[in-house]
Amino acid sequence: MSILEVTDLTVTFPGGIQAVRGVSYEVERGEVLGIVGESGSGKSVTSLAIMGLLPRNAVVSGSVKLHGRELLGMDEDELIKVRGKAISMIFQDPLSAFTPVYTIGDQVAEAVRVHQKMAKDKAAKRAVELLDLVGIPNPHLRAKAFPHEFSGGMRQRAMIAMAIANDPDLLICDEPTTALDVTIQAQVLEVLKTAQQETGAGIVMITHDLGVIAGMADRVLVMYAGRPVEQGSVDDIYYRPRMPYTMGLLASIPRVDGEEGPLVPIEGNPPSPSALPPGCPFAPRCPMKVDMCDDEEPPLTPFAGGRQVACIRSHEIEHKGLTGADVFPVPVIPPSDVVRVPRAERSTVLQLDGMIRHYPLMKGAVFKRRVGTVYAVDGISFDVAEGETLALVGESGCGKTTTLQQIMQLEPPQGGRVVVLGKDSAKLDKDARKALRRDLQIVFQDPMAALDPRMPVSDIIAEPLRAHGRKDVRARVAELLELVGLSPEHAERYPQQFSGGQRQRIGIARALALEPKLLVLDEPVSALDVSIQAGVINLLEELKNTLGLSYLFVAHDLAVVRHLADRVAVMYLGRIAEIGTVENVYDHPAHPYTQALLSAIPLPDPEMERTRKRILLEGDLPSPADPPSGCRFRTRCPKFAQLSEADRRICVDEEPSVARLANAVDHGAACHYAEEIEVITASDDQEEK
Amino acid sequence: MRSKVVLRRLFRNKQARYGTVALILLILLAYIGPYIGPYDWTDKDFLAFMSAPDGDHWWGTGAIGQDMYAVTLRGMQKSIIIGLLVALIATGLAAVVGAFAGYFGGWVDKVLMWGVDLLLVLPSFLIIAIISPRLKGGTWLWFVVLLAAFTWMITSRVVRSMTLSLREREYVLAAVYMGIPRWKIIFRHVVPNLSSLLIIDATLNVSGAIIGEAALSFFGFGIQPPDVSLGTLIAEGSRNATGYPWLFAFPAGLLVLLVLSINLIGDGLRDALDPGSNS
Ligand SMILES: Nc1ncnc2c1ncn2[C@@H]1O[C@H](COP(=O)(O)OP(=O)(O)OP(=O)(O)O)[C@@H](O)[C@H]1O
Ligand code: SF4
Ligand code: SF4
Ligand SMILES: [Mg+2]
C-alpha cells in the first residue's frame, strides 16, 4: 500500500497565479520518487502544500492522503503531530532550519521529544546516535556545537538527522544538495541512502539535477508549468522519454563522460504561471507542435509499462523511436581556425606565475587586530594560449574567484606575476591599464546582479563603449544584441524584463562590446536552468570560434567544463592540484583529489549510476587560514590513508608542486604519488572514436 | 515602468492619497490664494487693528493692520520654499558625501565621517542661533544653507553603509573592469540605486526643515522682518494667542497641516518604494 497519495492537487496564489495545476502521484514504502522540472515549475509549492506550510493566501484543492488519512483541511494541531513524525522535510538551505542560539544536539533532541515521550538525557543520547548515523565525526563533541560552527555539508547532515529522528514514513527533500559542493553532495546523498535503509521511509526527492535523480530515484515525475507531463520508472524516463519536454531536457545537459558536439537547447522560456497558453503549456517551445496541440491541454494519460505521458504525439514518438536530438534542432557551430595551429606556436594571452593573494584575518569589533592569514591563493601558475579555453574548477572556497579578481584588477599581485597579453600587471601605469581593459573583459555568475537594474539595456551595453570614447554606439549596440541572439528592438527594455538566460546574454554582449581578446567567465551558466544553460553554452562556443576569443572560465559543474574547455586546472585550497588537457584530466586523472571529484559527479544515466563505484572523501575542506602542512589534501586524501607510515612522511613534510606526468604532453599533477586511473567509464560515443 | 508601479502603489495607500490631496490643496492655497484675497500682504488697513475675521479681512488683521490672510499665505510660501531648498541641499549633500565615503573607503572615508561626527555632536540649534542674526541684511538663503548644513549627517551615514554593500555588487565591479573612472561610477551606478532612500529622505527632510525654520524663527533667529514665514507669524501670534486667537490659529494650523501631509506622503512613499520595510 502506498504511504502518500496525492490526487489532483492544485495551488493558486492571489493574482491568478496557478502555481500547481493538478498534480497526482503515489509514493510507496522504501520508494524514491524524483521530481524534476525547471525553476518555477511548481516543485517546491507542491511539497509545501503537502506539508501544509503554504502561506494563508494560497488556495489549495485536491487531496493529499497519508496512510489513507486526508491531510488537506486537517486542523493545525493535528497537522503538527503529523509533521515531523510521519512526514519530514529537508530543505535546500539548512542554516535557516536551525535556531542559531541552541546547540545542534539540543535541537535534534528537541525534535525527538516533540513527538515521543522521552526523558531529556535519553533524548540527548538518541541525538548523538542520530548524528553518528549521518556520519558526523565525534558526535559527542559536535552535538554541543552551534549551527554556525558547522559547515554547509555538516548542517545538511544534521538536518537529515533531525528529519529521521522520529522514524518518519516519508521524507520530502527539496533540493537537499544544491547548495553543496560535489564531493560533499556525494557524502550527503550517501547519508540519505543510509537513512532510508535505516527507516524504510519513502522519499520524495526534488531537484533540478538530473544526475542526482538518476542515482537516487526509482520513479521520476517530470513537471512543467505546474503540471506533471511525464511519469514513469527512472529507466523509462531516461532511456525512453516520450514527451518532447523530457526529451529536450535530457538532450540539453552536457555530460561529464564526454559526448561531443553542440548541446541541444530548448528555445524560449517556460510560460508565466499567470498567463498560460490555451493548449499544451509546452507548445510555444515544442518543435513537434501541431495545430491540435493548441486546442486543449493534453491530460496525463496512461501509457504502456505503467507510465503516464501528457502529449498527443507520444505514441508517434514511441513508434518512430525518436530522441531529443532528432526532434530538437541541433545548432551548427562553426569550427575555429585558431585551433589548427599547434598550441606551442600560438601566442600566450594570459600567464600566471606563482601568483599569491593572502587576506589578513581580523578579529574584534572595535579594535581590529590581525589574528592570522587566509591563504586564498597561494602560488598558482598557468597560462592560456590564444583561442583556448582554460577552465578553473574546484570546490567553493578554493580561491577561484580570488584568482579571477586579481587578474581583472590588473594591479601588481602580492607575489608572483600576472601577465596579460604580454604586459606584466606590475608594470602598468594608469593609461596602459585602461587600454588593456579593452582586451580583457568579464562575464559574471549572477546575470541579475551584474546588470544595473536602473539602466536600459542599450545603456548597459553602451557603457564600455562610451568609457573608451566610442561615438557610434547605437549601431554597435544593435549589432551586439544580434550577435548574442537577442532582438535589437529590445534595447530600450530594462534588465528585469528579461529572463535569466537572456540577461546572461546581455552580460556577454556587454563584455564583447570592446572586442576583447580574453574573456573571463565566472560561473557563467550556473544560475541558469539546464534547458536555458545549453543555449548559452552553445553561444559561448560559437562566439569563441567566430571571434577568435580566449576564455578563462571558472565553474564548479565539471560536465559543463568538459563540454566547453580545452584545458582544465583543478584547484584545491589555493593551489593547483592537477592541470592538463580536458581529455587527459577527465579520462586519466592522476591526483587523488581530481579522482574523487570526478567520481562524485552524478551522471544523468541510471544504469551507470547503479554500477558506479564512488571514491568518497572524508570530512570537509580545511580552513584556508590554516592549511595542513605538506600536501594540503592529505587530511582527506584516500591514497594517503592507505600509505605506510614511512611513505606518508613526504606528504606531511613536503608540499608537492605540479609535475608533468611522464607519458603526457600536457598533463601535470601536484601529488607525490600521482598515478593515472580511470574513474568515469567513457560513453559509447567516446569509445567509437 | 518601475516609477509607474511605485505611483500605483503610492496611490493605493489611503494615507498617502489624503496626504497628496491635502498638499496639493495647500500649495494651491499658498500660491493662488493671494490673488483671490482683496489685500496684498504689504497693505496695511489703518482702520482695523487686531480685528477679528470678517467678510473684509477673512482671517482678521494684525497689530499694525496687516491682512492676516495675505500675510499668512505669504509666510507659507516662504516656508514651503525653505523646506524644499533645505531638503534638496541636505539630501544631495548626504548622497554625495555618503557615497564617496563608502565607495572610496580608506582615508577619504575617515575624513568625511569624522566631519559627519563633528557636525553631529555640535549643538546645531545654538550655532544657527548665534550665526543667523549676524547674517542680517544678507539674504534668507544663508539661513537655508545653515539649516541644510545641520540636516544631512544621519542620512549620509545610511548612504555610506548602503554604498558599502553596493560597492561589491557585480555591476559595479563590471564598471570598474570596464575602466570607468570611480567618480563616474558613483554618480552612474551607486547614487541612482539609492534613489528610493533618497526620495523618502528628501520628502521627510522637507517637513523637518519647515519645522526647523518655524522653531528658529519663533525665537527670532530665522527669517528676519520685514520678511515673514509661518514661524515668525506663529511667534507674533502666540504673544496674544488668548485674546486674539486668529493671529495664532491660522499660521499654526497651516503649519501642522503642511507637515502632516508631507509626512503622510513620505510614509506612503516608503511603503511604495520599499515594500519589504513593513510598517
Ligand atoms: N507565496 C507565493 N505567492 C505567489 N506566488 C508564489 C508563491 N510561492 C511560489 N509562487 C509561484 O509559484 C510558482 C512555482 O514555484 P515553485 O517554488 O514551486 O517552483 P520550483 O519548481 O520549486 O522552482 P525552483 O527550481 O526554482 O525551486 C512560481 O511561479 C512562483 O513564482
Ligand atoms: S502536446 Fe503537442 S505541443 Fe505539447 S508536447 Fe506534445 S507535441 Fe508538443
Ligand atoms: S601528495 Fe600524498 S597526500 Fe597529497 S594527494 Fe598525493 S598521496 Fe595524497
Ligand atoms: Mg524550489
Q: B4 touching A, CB under 8 A?
A: no
What separation in Å is there between the alpha carbon of A288 and the centre of ligand 2? 6
**Which pLDDT score is estimated for A338?**
67
Q: Tell whether the model's pLDDT for residue A449 goes beyond 80.
A: yes
**Which pLDDT score is estimated for A94?**
66
Residue B114: HSE in the Cβ half-sphere, 13 Å Cα cutoff = 7
Is position B279 within any domain?
no
> With the C-alpha atoms ordered A542, A545, A547, A549, is the resulting torsion angle positive or negative?
positive
Q: B173 touching A, CB under 8 A?
A: yes
Which residues of chain B make contact with A468, given a CB cutoff of 8 A?
A: 178-179
Across the interface, whether the CB atoms of A441 and B177 are under 8 A apart is answered yes
Ligand 3 close to Cβ of residue A382 (< 6 A): no
Q: Which residues form the domain of B64? A: 2-273
**Which pLDDT score is estimated for A193?**
87
Classified as helix, coil or strand, A373 is strand
Interface TM-score (ipTM) > 0.85:
no
- β-pairing, A389-393 with A567-572? parallel
pLDDT category, A95, cuts 50, 70, 90? low
Is position B119 within any domain?
yes
Across the interface, whether the CB atoms of B195 and A454 are under 8 A apart is answered yes
| Count of structural domains within chain B | 1
Smallest Cα distance from A519 to chain B, Å: 12
For A453, other C-beta atoms within 10 Å of its C-beta total 15
Q: Tell whether the model's pLDDT for residue A578 goes beyond 90.
A: yes
> How large is the average pLDDT for residues A538-561?
89
Q: Tell whether the model's pLDDT for residue B178 goes beyond 90.
A: no
Of A438, A441, A450, the CB nearest to B171: A450
Q: Give the least confident one: A512-516, B210-214, B216-220.
A: B216-220
Task: Look at residues A439, A474, A477, A46 and name the one whose alpha carbon lies nearest to residue A228.
Answer: A46
Residue A51 and residue A6 in contact, taking contact as beta carbons nearer than 8 Å: no
Q: Tell whether the model's pLDDT for residue B240 goes beyond 80.
A: no
CATH number, domain containing residue B82: 1.10.3720.10
Q: Which residues contact A576 (CB under 8 A, 6 or more apart)?
A: A380, A381, A382, A569, A570, A658, A670
> How large is the average pLDDT for residues A599-627?
84
Can you give the length of chain A in residues? 689
Question: How far is residue A302's CA from residue A300's CA, in Å, rounded to a whole number?
Answer: 7
Phi, psi of A183 (to 5 degrees): -70, -35
Q: Whose CA is nearest to atom 1 of ligand 3?
A: A671
Ligand 1 close to Cβ of residue A500 (< 6 A): no
pLDDT (tens digit per residue) in A319-360: 888 888 888 888 888 777 766 778 888 889 999 999 999 988
Give the CA angle between residues A614, A391, A503 to the nearest 5°. Answer: 105
Work out the percent of chain B whose per-residue pLDDT is above 90. 16
Q: Tell whether the model's pLDDT for residue B17 goes beyond 70.
A: yes
**Which pLDDT score is estimated for A259?**
66
Which residues of chain B make contact with A408, given a CB cutoff of 8 A?
A: 173, 177
The set of protein residues with a Cβ atom below 6 angstroms from ligand 2 is A 243-244, 280, 282-283, 286, 288-289, 293, 298, 311-313
pLDDT category, A682, cuts 50, 70, 90? low
In whole numbers, what is the pLDDT of chain B averaged over residues? 84
What separation in Å is there between the alpha carbon of A634 and the centre of ligand 3? 6
Phi, psi of A234 (to 5 degrees): -60, -40
Question: Strand runs (DSSP E) across A368-426, as ranges?
Answer: 369-385, 389-393, 415-420, 423-424
What separation in Å is there between the alpha carbon of A277 and the centre of ligand 2? 12
What separation in Å is there between the alpha carbon of A640 and the centre of ligand 3? 6
Q: Which three cell numbers stand for residue A41?
A: 515549475
Q: B136 touching A, CB under 8 A?
A: no
Q: Tell whether the model's pLDDT for residue B252 goes beyond 60.
A: yes
Q: B2 touching A, CB under 8 A?
A: yes
Is position B266 within any domain?
yes
Q: Which domains does chain A have, with CATH numbers?
A: 27-56+79-86+169-332 (3.40.50.300), 95-167 (no CATH), 338-579 (3.40.50.300), 580-689 (no CATH)
**Which pLDDT score is estimated for A237?**
92
pLDDT (tens digit per residue) in A45-68: 898 898 888 888 889 999 999 888
Q: Give the least confident one: A4-8, A584-588, A600-604, B55-59.
A: B55-59
Across the interface, whether the CB atoms of A442 and B179 are under 8 A apart is answered no
Q: Tell whether the model's pLDDT for residue A619 goes beyond 80.
A: no
DSSP single-letter state for residue A644? -
Q: Tell whether the model's pLDDT for residue A683 goes beyond 60.
A: no
**Which pLDDT score is estimated for A365?**
60
> How large is the average pLDDT for residues A409-415?
90
Alpha-carbon Rg for chain B, nearest whole angstrom, is 22
Question: Strand runs (DSSP E) across A573-689, as ranges?
Answer: 575-581, 659-660, 667-669
DSSP single-letter state for residue A483? H
Query: For residue A374, what are the β-bridge partners?
Result: A359
pLDDT (tens digit per residue) in A625-638: 888 888 999 998 99
The model's pTM: 0.81
> How large is the average pLDDT for residues A170-194?
84
Is position B191 within any domain?
yes
Q: Tell whether the model's pLDDT for residue A688 goes beyond 50.
A: no
3-state secondary structure A78-118: HHHHHECCCEEEECCCHHHHCCCCCCHHHHHHHHHHHHCCC
Smallest Cα distance from B153 to chain A, Å: 22
Residue B260 and residue B14 in contact, taking contact as beta carbons nearer than 8 Å: no
In whole numbers, what is the pLDDT of chain A averaged over residues? 86
**Which pLDDT score is estimated for A220?**
94
Classified as helix, coil or strand, B147 is helix
> How large is the average pLDDT for residues B268-272?
80
**Which pLDDT score is estimated for B275?**
55
3-state secondary structure A519-559: EEEECCCCCCCHHHHHHHHHHHHHHHHHHCCEEEEEECCHH
Which element (helix H / strand E) includes A128?
helix A120-133
Q: Tell whether the model's pLDDT for residue A689 goes beyond 50.
A: no
